[in-house]
Structure 1
Amino acid sequence: MGIQISLKLHEKFTKYPCCFKRRCGILNKDIQINIYFQKGGSLLKKKWWWLLVVLVMIILGLLGGKMYMDNKKEQKTLDIEKQSVKVLKKTFANIAKVKIERIGYNNMTGSYSIVVTMTNKQGQSAYFDYGFAENQKEISDYGIENEDVQKEGATSGKVKVIYSNGSGEEL
């Protein structure tokens, strides 16, 4: 004696021999699944549905991959900005706040050009750019805009940082 499961989606459907049999070890019985297809349904319509399903899966895969890559790129940019601010603290004295305006990458040199507005503890600001290479311990070059703000030395306290994506933290 076996278990029989039938799937009938519509009264107009006619039974075509599409049957799956399997022996179930737990119940020690045969299980049979019958599937009913629509009478007169063409094979071409079924192929179009499968093609549509495959295309939707491919599009979802591509969108998911793009979102993953964008997130990975944004995370790398954030890591570079953090590294550069730590090096900036070792280059200039009395920094209170750093706002990263924009960041650009040079494929030829492998370095970044970062534009910042830096504010010292007296409230004076300087808008300038500097060059930074990943995992370096010093800034490669920077433009001097305001010598009162851009004093060489080191900043020992916490610095408020606003990153190019708008997020902020204290380093």
Structure 2
Amino acid sequence: MKKRKMLILALLVVVLVGVGIIGGKYYMNEKAEKEKVELQTSDYSIEQERILAKQIKNTFADIKSVKFVNKSMSKNSVAGFISIDIIIQTDNKNEKIGTDFPINKDNESKSEQLESYIGGDDLNNGETSNNITVYFTNDSEEVL
């Protein structure tokens, strides 16, 4: 009888711990998704994307369009930056680069050109004088 009570108690503890772990994981996923949606729809984020698009236009030649990949956006609160992948379309190819922009406006880049990025080895340096189409993370588009 005593062994049976201990077995039932042990199973109950295992079930409660399992429910706690699953519930905690669900909560963390929901919280991360909510933060990502807020990040993607914030006016500051779109304004930063516009600044990045202008910097890209001033850094690379022969660009047709710039698309910000919203699923790649991630926030690093410790470093104070938001990372994002960008697809740059030229006449004959699509090139993917990754870059960061600051979380707060105090650290905003005032440079005319994109200074720090990963990838884009096949892009031609120079300036694009034609208008380009920019696709933002909130699914809006604009011609610059």
TM-score by length of 2: 0.59
Picking from 101, 109, 115, the partner of 2:79 is 109
Give 1:146 shift. 4.7
Q: How far, CA to CA, are the matches of 1:145 and 1:85 in structure 2?
A: 14
Query: Which residue number corresponds to residue 143 of structure 1?
Result: 118
**SS of alignment partner, residue 42 of structure 2:** helix
1:132 aligned onto 2:74: no
**SS of alignment partner, residue 96 of structure 1:** strand
Q: How far, CA to CA, are the matches of 1:83 and 1:104 in structure 2?
A: 18
> Which one-letter code corresponds to 1:107 in the other structure?
S
Residues 132, 140 of structure 1: 8 Å contact kept? no
Give 1:139 shift. 2.7
Q: How far, CA to CA, are the matches of 1:88 and 1:77 in structure 2?
A: 16
> Which one-letter code corresponds to 2:109 in the other structure?
N
Residue ranges of structure 1 left out of the alignment (5+ in a row): 1-69
Q: How does 1:1-171 map to 2 (within 5 A)?
A: 74-102=42-70, 103-120=73-90, 122-133=91-102, 134-137=108-111, 138-147=113-122, 150-171=123-144
Give 1:151 shift. 1.2
Residues 96, 119 of structure 2: 8 Å contact kept? no
> Which one-letter code corresponds to 1:139 in the other structure?
L
Q: How many residues align?
A: 98
Would you identify which runs of 4 or more consecutive aligned residues in structure 1 move more than 6 Å?
A: none
Q: How far, CA to CA, are the matches of 2:57 and 2:130 in structure 1?
A: 9
Residue ranges of structure 2 left out of the alignment (5+ in a row): 1-37, 103-107
Q: Which protein shows a greater Rg?
A: 1
Q: How far, CA to CA, are the matches of 1:92 and 1:145 in structure 2?
A: 9
Residues 105, 112 of structure 1: 8 Å contact kept? yes
Structure that is richer in helix per residue: 2
Give 1:94 shift. 0.8
Give 1:114 shift. 2.0
